[in-house]
Amino acid sequence: MALGGQSKIIYLPVSSELTKDEILSTARKHNFQAFDLDSVKNEFQLNLAFYHAEKAFEQNSNISKDLMLEFLIRVAGVRQIKQAIERVGVKNPKKLLIAFSPSVSNLSSEEIIKLLKAKKIKWKQSDDRNEIQRMVELQLEK
What is the predicted pLDDT for the residue at 6? 54
Question: Which of 55, 52, 7 has its CA nearest to residue 31?
Answer: 7
**What pLDDT, on a 0 to 100 scale, did the predictor assign at position 139?**
60
* 28/35 Cα distance (integer angstroms): 13
pLDDT, residue 72, reads 96
For residue 98, is pLDDT > 70?
yes
- The predicted-structure confidence for 10-44, as pLDDT tens digits, reads as follows 999 999 999 999 999 999 999 999 999 999 999 98
Residue 45 pLDDT greater than 50, yes or no:
yes
Domains of the chain by start residue, with CATH:
10-140 (3.30.2380.10)
Distance, first Cα to last Cα, the chain: 25
Residues paired with 104 in a beta bridge: none
SS3 category, 15: strand
